[in-house]
Amino acid sequence: MATVGIRAVRKRFGGNEVIRGIDCDVADGELLVMLGPSGCGKSTLLRMVAGLEPISGGEVAIGGRVVNAVEPKDRNIAMVFQNYALYPHMSVFDNMAYGLRIRGLPKAEIAGRVRAAAEMLELAPFLDRRPKDLSGGQRQRVAMGRAIVREPDVFLFDEPLSNLDAKLRTQMRVEIKRLQTRMGVTSLYVTHDQVEAMTLADRIMVMNAGLAEQVGTPAEVYARPASVFVAGFIGAPPMNLVPVQVGGGSAILPDGARLALPAGAGQGARAATLGIRPEHLQPDPLGPVRMTVDLVEALGADTVVHGRLAGGTVLLARLPGDAAVRAGDALALAAPPEALHLFDPGTGRRI
Amino acid sequence: MRRKVIFRNRWLPYLLLAPQLGVTLVFFIWPSLQAVWQSFLREDMFGLSSTFVWFDNYRVVLADPGYMAAVRRTAVFSVAVALAALMPALLLAVMVDRMLKGVAFWRTILVLPYAIAPAVAGVLFLFMFNPSVGVVARMLTAAGVDWNPRLDGTDAMILVVLAAAWKQISYNFLFFLAGLQAIPKSLLEAAAIDGAGGWTRFRTIVLPLLSPVTFFLVTVNVVYAFFDTFGVIHAVTQGGPAKATEILVYKAWYDGIIATDFGRSAAQSVILMIVVIALTAVQFRYIDRRVQY
Ligand SMILES: Nc1ncnc2c1ncn2[C@@H]1O[C@H](COP(=O)(O)OP(=O)(O)O)[C@@H](O)[C@H]1O
Ligand SMILES: [Mg+2]
């Protein structure tokens, strides 16, 4: 059990700075998800915690000990790789036992731990097989098992589910959450999938271009996105982001429609970016938002409606599954004032 | 799925194969058949007439203590050449594989020796190790080593092993480097996180994953030591001193061309041919057992 401290961490590859100063403290037993688009530096940050990449600036501490100069093998961490990185010439048993043997554990204890993990992951019938004779889901579980048996201070996951099909991914997501809660091991989990992040995380770090845009619980990140980037990245379908003029306690849309802001907000006149989640735009005959429906996506539980304001601005609304809307309809919508988000159009930060 | 392209033309394949088949026939099959035929004959001492003697030549060869000594010598020689050619190659490959920059440069440099003809390499070594003028020989003498390959059989053996092995290092290096670079880096990272230090990773991950390459190279190098080292031996020691470096291929040549006993020389050649066919068969049998990542 351990805390993880990431303090002003930077990483340069040659002249290219890919991590530009990230701070985050992960509590003992917490699962922190690093979420961001491909190439934003998630893996690089995780690999610095693992000790696989030298740290260019700042410090990483595990259990209060600064580990910048500590070899991966001495950090007592376990990592699940995106491609699983199973040893192809070893059986499932040997794959899981590898780290324990190196640590010189007694044979009986190794066998006990491997069997217990195999039981838990339903791998018991496959212990003698080679990785190439397993399905993708089974390989993924072997990789998990190899991490579990070590009983490490910290688990590191680098997109462990991205090579699985959608159904298996959902299933394993639940499995990982259950295991992690039960074992209570501090975990850092990298993904580009916001659903995975929302369901797994105790806290999410939303990353963009080598910076942490926001660190917060899934509920916070959803309800109060700290920037336009976070607002657009979290939630599916994504939040509507519309340039508006603010003044007199309301936001004025490009077509002139006025949306009331929460009491006290939007007094001084200024330009802003208005964020409204599609699920907060609901039909209301008296609603200020008037759009023409372009396209209707019936998803069963929900109906996603794509529409245009008079000026051409595109908006998405997420209506109940039984909403009777057709392309070409005129639709009047309203959003509750407390569901509106305002961002500075220059910096992208929340106002 | 692999799709087969079918050409209706029946003789085109043969036409396309003809040059290769012709070369093989003229330069390999025909002389081989001649050797087999020759190995069943015995000529009179003037070379005027020959009689068909069935397996007499083989019986004589295999009963000859000199031949059996050459067999043992060849075994020592090929194992030594294989080791001397494989170990430095692996070491160099590991070093180059670890470099982040300059891999292409070092690969080119380290492959150059392969372009040098065996006899030239032999003369080079002969010169370097010449007791009176050779650079290396002088250093050895200065270091107190009594070095004289012209009189001492062991020294001579060491010399031909080095001369024969050194250009194979290039070849082995290339294969080892390719093998090392095919091992996914994430496996080594996973092992590092599992607690393995550099040497443990090498022993438990790299070496086992490299074993198909190693096996391939061992057979190639042994076949090389058996057959392709004639030029080196001829240039460096001529099989001496006192036959200390006379390996089978050299003996076959010597007995045939110098001692002009064609029947026994042919029988020796045929035995060598059988050994090489066997080694190659073993190699083909196992070459497909690749590790899958
Ligand atoms: N070894 C490396 N050398 C140079 N650039 C690298 C290296 N590894 C990653 N990068 C760069 O760093 C950036 C972040 O990469 P990465 O951390 O893998 O992103 P993510 O995991 O978020 O998709 C990318 O632009 C990538 O090209
Ligand atoms: Mg990545």
Model pLDDT for residues B184-216, shown as the tens digit of each residue: 999 999 999 999 999 999 999 999 999 889 988
Q: How many Å lie between the alpha carbon of B98 and the closest alpha carbon of chain A?
A: 15
Which of A51-55, A97-101, B125-129 shows the lowest per-residue confidence on average (mean pLDDT)? B125-129
Q: Using 50, 70 and 90 to split pLDDT, how confident is the model at B134?
A: confident
How far is the first Cα of chain A from the last one, in angstroms, to the nearest whole number?
Answer: 38
Contact A259, A289 (CB under 8 A): yes
Residue in the structure block whose two tokens are 């403290």: A25
Q: Is A248 in the pocket of ligand 1 (CB under 6 A)?
A: no
Q: How many Å lie between the alpha carbon of A328 and the closest alpha carbon of chain B?
A: 48
Q: How many Å lie between the alpha carbon of B88 and the closest alpha carbon of chain A?
A: 25
Span from the CA of A207 to the centroid of ligand 1 (angstroms):
13
3-state secondary structure of B55: coil
Q: Is A41 in the pocket of ligand 1 (CB under 6 A)?
A: yes
User: Does A72 contact B193 at a Cβ distance shorter than 8 Å?
Assistant: yes
Query: Residue A207 CA: which ligand 1 atom is closest?
Result: 22
Question: What is the ipTM metric for this complex?
Answer: 0.88
Contact A198, A218 (CB under 8 A): yes
Q: Average pLDDT, whole number, for chain A?
A: 93
Residues of chain B positioned with their CB less than 8 A from the CB of A103: 195
- Please give the DSSP secondary-structure letter assigned to residue B3: P
Q: What span, in angstroms and rounded, lies between the C-alpha atoms of B193 and B208?
A: 19
Average pLDDT rounded to a whole number, residues B119-126: 76
Residues of chain B positioned with their CB less than 8 A from the CB of A77: 193
User: Does B184 contact A87 at a Cβ distance shorter than 8 Å?
Assistant: no
Q: What span, in angstroms and rounded, lies between the C-alpha atoms of A284 and A333?
A: 5
Tokens of residue A340, six digits: 């509106």
- Which residue lies with its CA nearest to atom 17 of ligand 1? A41
User: Does B194 contact A71 at a Cβ distance shorter than 8 Å?
Assistant: no
Span from the CA of B102 to the centroid of ligand 2 (angstroms):
27
Q: Using 50, 70 and 90 to split pLDDT, how confident is the model at A112?
A: very high
Q: How many residues belong to chain B? A: 293
Interface of chain B toward chain A, CB-CB under 8 angstroms? 184, 186-187, 189-197, 200, 204-205, 208-209, 291-293
User: Does B186 contact A77 at a Cβ distance shorter than 8 Å?
Assistant: no
For residue B199, the chain A residue with the least C-alpha distance is A102
Q: Is A40 in the pocket of ligand 1 (CB under 6 A)?
A: yes
**Whether residue B1 has pLDDT greater than 50:** no
Amino acid B149: pLDDT: 74
Instruction: Give this prediction's pTM.
Output: 0.83
Q: Which helix (H) or strand (E) holds B50?
A: strand B50-52
Residues of chain A positioned with their CB less than 8 A from the CB of B197: 71, 73
Average pLDDT rounded to a whole number, residues B168-179: 91
Amino acid A275: pLDDT: 95
Span from the CA of A37 to the centroid of ligand 2 (angstroms):
9
Q: Is A15 in the pocket of ligand 1 (CB under 6 A)?
A: no
Interface of chain A toward chain B, CB-CB under 8 angstroms? 50-52, 71-73, 75, 77-79, 81, 83, 85-89, 98-99, 102-103, 132, 146, 150
Residues of chain A positioned with their CB less than 8 A from the CB of B190: 79, 81, 85-87, 146
3-state secondary structure of B36: helix
Structural domains present in chain B: 57-290 (1.10.3720.10)
**Whether residue B118 has pLDDT greater than 80:** no
Give the CA angle between residues B104, B181, A137 to the nearest 5°.
150
Q: What b/e string do you get for B97-129 counting C-beta neighbours within 10 Å, with b at 16 or more?
A: beeeeeeeebbeebbebbeeebbebbbbbbebb
Percent of chain B with pLDDT over 90: 22
- Which residue lies with its CA nearest to atom 14 of ligand 1? A41
For residue B289, the chain A residue with the least C-alpha distance is A89
User: Does A98 contact B191 at a Cβ distance shorter than 8 Å?
Assistant: yes
Q: Which of A98, A144, A151 to mutate to test the interface with B (most CBs of B within 10 A)?
A: A98
User: Does B205 contact A78 at a Cβ distance shorter than 8 Å?
Assistant: no
For residue B187, the chain A residue with the least C-alpha distance is A85
**Whether residue B47 has pLDDT greater than 70:** no
Q: Average pLDDT, whole number, for chain B?
A: 83
Neighbours of ion ligand 2 (CB under 5 A): A 43
- Which candidate from B184, B186, B197 shows the least CB-CB separation from A73? B197
User: Which residue type, as a one-letter code, is found at position B42?
Assistant: R
**Whether residue B292 has pLDDT greater than 60:** no
User: Which residue type, as a one-letter code, is found at position B289?
Assistant: R
Q: Using 50, 70 and 90 to split pLDDT, how confident is the model at B245?
A: confident
